[in-house]
C-alpha cells in the first residue's frame, strides 16, 4: 500500500505493534484480578442487513481505530470492497492468521465510502455531497474528505493495529492512507430507562440523546432507499482539539451552564432524568431559562434545530493533541450540517474546540456471502 509521506513505515508500525503487545503482557502481570479473569466479549455478527459497529454491539466497544484512505483514480471500488468484506468475515470469525493468535472477541469493522466514489455510482445518491467547511476549523488538506473509511472497534485495543494492517494489506497499492486516529471511550454510566453513556474528555456524559428505539432508527438513522443504499447510513467524522486547561478553569456551575447538564449525573439543568432530555421552556421564578440560551443541549437540540436525531459517539484521544474524535450516524447529512450551523451562532461549547480533521461517508449496507460488501452500489 502506498502511504502518505508522513505515515509511519511498515517497520515502524511493526515496532509499535510489538511494543503495544509487550506492554499488554507486562500489564497482565500487575495486581488486577478482575481484569485478568474478565470473560472475553461475545462475537458480533459481521453480516446482516446493516453493518456491525453502528447499533451493535450495545453499548459500543471501548476502543476504536478510524482509518481514512483514498482509492487510486483508476481503481474500481467494487473488487476492493468485496475483498475487504471477505477479510472482515474471516477476521471477526477469528480464522484469519493475520490476527496473530488474538481472539476477536467483540471485534467489528464498519466500512464507508466517500462522496467522490458515491458520485461515480450516482450524483443524486445519499452520500454524494461533500461535508462543507465550518468555523473553528484548522484542517490540513489531507485531513479533509477521503474515499474510504474503515472503522475498527473492539474491547481489546491490541486487535486494532493488527486488523488495520490486515485490511490495508488486503487492499494493497490500490489505496493510499490519508490519516488514522486511535481513540477510546470511558466506562458506561447509567442514565435511566435502561440506557448508559460514557463521559467525554470534559467530564460530562455524552451521547445521551439519539435514535434509540427501532422506530427512531427507521426514521432518523437507516437509509431506506434507493435500493443500492438501503440499510446503510451516513457518517460524519471529525477530530477536535479541546482547550482542556481553559475549560477546567471554569467553576463546576459554569461548566454545567456550557453543557446545560449536571456534570456528575447528566441530568438537565431543567431537572428530571438524564435520559428524559431537557425541558427547554423551564424558567426560574424571575424568568430566566434554567437551560441557558447558549447551552450546548439547547443549541444542538433536534427540535430547536428542526432536524432529525443523530446517533452520536465521542471518543477521547491523546494525540496528536488532547481532544476527541466525534462520529455521528444519520440518514440525512442535513441533520448534521443544520445542527452545526445552528451551534455556530452561539453554542457555548464550541469556543473550547478546534476541528483538525473532517469527512463524511456513506456507510454501506450490510453484506453476506452471496451479497459482497458494496455490491448493490458498485457491482
pTM of the model: 0.89
The 3-class SS string of the chain reads: CEECCCCCCHHHHHHHHHHHHHHHHHHCCCCCHHHHCCCCCCCCCCCCCCCCCCCCCCCCCCEEEEEEEEECCCCCHHHHHHHHHHHHHHHHHCCCHHHCCCCCCCCEEEEEECHHHHHHHCCCCCCCCCCCCCCCECCCHHHECCCEEEEEEECCCCHHHHHHHHHHHHHHHHEEEEEEEEEECCCCEEEECCEEECECCCCCECCCCCCCCHHHHHHHCCCCCCCCCCCCEEEEEEEEEECHHHHHCCCHHHHHHHHCECCCCCCECCCCCCCCCCCCCCECCCCCECCCCCCHHHHCCHHHHCCCCCEEEEEEECCCCCEEEEEEEECCHHHHHHHHHHHHHHCCCHHHEEEEEEEEEEECCCCCCCCCCCHHHHC
How does pLDDT run along the chain (379 residues), one tens digit per residue?
A: 544 444 444 333 333 333 333 333 333 343 343 444 456 788 999 999 999 999 999 999 999 999 999 999 999 999 999 999 999 999 999 999 999 999 999 999 999 999 999 999 999 999 999 999 999 999 999 999 999 999 999 999 999 999 999 999 999 999 999 999 999 999 999 998 888 999 999 999 999 999 999 999 999 999 999 999 999 999 999 999 999 999 999 999 999 999 999 999 999 999 999 998 899 999 999 999 999 999 999 999 999 999 999 999 999 999 999 999 999 999 999 999 999 999 999 999 999 999 999 999 999 999 999 999 999 999 8
Amino acid at each position: 500500500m502506498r502511504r502518505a509521506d508522513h505515515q509511519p513505515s511498515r517497520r515502524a508500525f511493526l515496532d509499535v505493534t510489538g511494543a503495544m503487545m509487550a506492554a499488554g503482557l507486562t500489564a497482565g502481570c500487575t495486581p488486577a484480578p478482575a481484569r485478568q479473569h474478565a470473560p472475553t466479549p461475545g462475537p458480533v455478527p459481521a453480516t446482516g442487513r446493516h453493518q456491525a459497529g453502528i447499533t451493535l454491539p450495545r453499548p459500543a466497544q471501548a476502543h476504536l481505530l478510524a482509518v481514512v484512505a483514498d482509492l487510486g483514480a483508476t481503481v474500481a471500488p467494487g473488487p476492493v470492497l468485496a475483498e475487504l468484506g471477505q477479510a472482515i468475515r474471516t477476521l471477526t470469525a477469528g480464522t484469519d492468521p493475520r490476527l496473530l493468535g488474538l481472539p476477536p472477541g467483540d471485534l467489528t469493522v464498519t466500512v464507508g465510502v466517500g462522496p467522490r466514489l458515491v458520485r461515480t455510482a450516482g450524483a443524486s445518491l445519499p452520500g454524494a455531497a461533500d461535508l462543507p467547511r465550518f468555523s473553528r476549523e484548522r484542517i490540513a488538506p489531507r485531513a479533509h474528505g477521503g474515499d474510504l473509511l474503515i472503522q475498527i472497534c473492539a474491547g481489546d485495543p491490541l486487535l486494532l493495529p493488527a486488523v488495520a494492517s490486515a485490511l490495508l494489506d488486503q487492499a494493497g497499492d490500490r489505496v493510499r492512507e490519508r490519516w488514522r486516529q486511535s481513540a477510546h471511550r470511558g466506562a458506561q454510566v447509567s442514565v435511566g430507562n435502561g440506557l448508559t453513556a460514557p463521559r467525554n474528555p470534559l467530564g460530562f456524559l455524552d451521547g445521551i440523546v439519539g435514535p434509540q428505539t427501532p422506530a427512531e432508527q427507521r426514521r432518523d438513522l437507516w437509509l431506506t432507499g434507493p435500493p443500492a443504499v438501503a440499510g446503510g447510513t451516513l457518517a460524519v467524522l471529525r477530530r477536535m482539539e479541546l482547550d482542556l486547561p481553559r475549560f477546567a478553569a471554569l467553576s463546576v456551575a459554569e461548566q454545567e451552564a456550557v453543557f446545560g447538564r449536571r456534570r456528575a449525573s447528566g441530568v438537565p439543568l431543567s431537572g428530571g432524568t438524564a435520559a428524559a432530555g431537557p425541558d427547554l421552556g423551564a424558567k426560574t421564578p424571575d424568568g430566566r431559562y434554567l437551560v441557558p440560551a447558549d447551552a450546548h443541549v439547547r443549541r444542538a437540540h433536534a427540535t430547536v434545530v428542526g432536524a432529525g436525531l443523530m446517533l452520536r459517539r465521542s471518543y477521547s484521544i491523546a494525540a496528536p493533541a488532547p481532544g476527541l474524535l466525534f462520529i455521528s450516524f444519520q440518514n440525512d447529512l442535513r441533520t448534521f450540517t443544520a445542527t452545526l450551523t445552528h451551534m455556530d451562532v452561539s453554542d457555548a461549547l464550541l469556543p473550547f474546540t478546534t476541528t483538525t480533521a473532517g469527512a463524511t461517508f456513506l456507510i454501506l449496507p450490510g453484506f453476506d456471502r452471496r451479497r459482497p460488501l458494496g455490491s448493490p452500489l458498485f457491482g
